[in-house]
Amino acid sequence: MKSDLLSNIYNPADLRLLKEEQLTQVAQELRQFIIDVVSVKEGHLGASLGVVELTIALHYVFNTPEDLLVWDVGHQAYGHKILTERRENFHTNRQLGGISGFPKRAESIYDTFGVGHSSTSISAALGMAIASKLKGDSEKQHIAVIGDASIASGMAFEGLNHAGVTDANILVILNDNAIGIDPSVGALKKYLTAVKNGKNPKQNNIIKSLNFDYSGPIDGHDFPTLIKELNRLKKIKGPKFLHIVTTKGKGLQQAEENQVKYHAPGKFDASTGEIHLKSEENLPPKYQDVFGLTILDLAKKNEKIIGITPAMPSGSSLKFMMNELPERAFDVGIAEQHAVTLAAGMATQGMIVYCNIYSTFLQRAYDQVIHDVALQNLPVIFCLDRAGLVGEDGATHHGVFDISYLRSIPNLIIYAPINEIALQNILYTAQLGLNNPIAIRYPRGRGVLPNWEVENFGHYETIKIGEGNCLKTGTTTAVLSTGSIGNNVIEALKECHNSDAIAHYDFGFIKPLDTKLLNTIFSSFESIITIEDGVKKGGFGSAVLEFAATNNFKNKVEILGIPDEFIEHGSVLQQQQLCKIDVKSLINLFSNGSK
Q: What are phi and psi of 241, to 5 degrees?
A: -140, 120
- Which of 104, 240, 319, 364 is labelled catalytic? 364
Concerning whether 336 is annotated as a catalytic residue, the answer is yes
CA 563 to each of CA 15, 423, 444, 523, 580: distance values in angstroms, whole numbers, following the listed order? 42, 27, 20, 28, 10
> Is there a contact between 269 and 45 (Cβ–Cβ < 8 Å)?
no
Bond into 284 cis (ω within 30): no
Reported as half-sphere exposure (CB side, CA atoms, 13 A), residue 562 has a value of 26
Concerning whether 364 is annotated as a catalytic residue, the answer is yes
Task: List all residues 6 or more positions away from 72 whose beta carbon is below 8 Å from its beta carbon.
Answer: 115, 118, 119, 120, 121, 122, 144, 145, 146, 147, 150
User: Which of 67, 65, 108 lies closest to 85, judged by CA?
Assistant: 108
- Which of 29, 42, 53, 336 is labelled catalytic? 336
Distance CA 405, CA 414 (A): 11
By CB atoms closer than 10 A (0-12, 13-18, 19+), residue 417 is buried
Reported as half-sphere exposure (CB side, CA atoms, 13 A), residue 333 has a value of 22
User: Which of 147, 156, 167 lies closest to 236, judged by CA?
Assistant: 167
Concerning whether 444 is annotated as a catalytic residue, the answer is no
By CB atoms closer than 10 A (0-12, 13-18, 19+), residue 494 is exposed
**Residue 161 CB coordination number (10 Å):** 12
- Which of 81, 189, 240, 248 is labelled catalytic? 248
Active site residues: 248, 336, 364
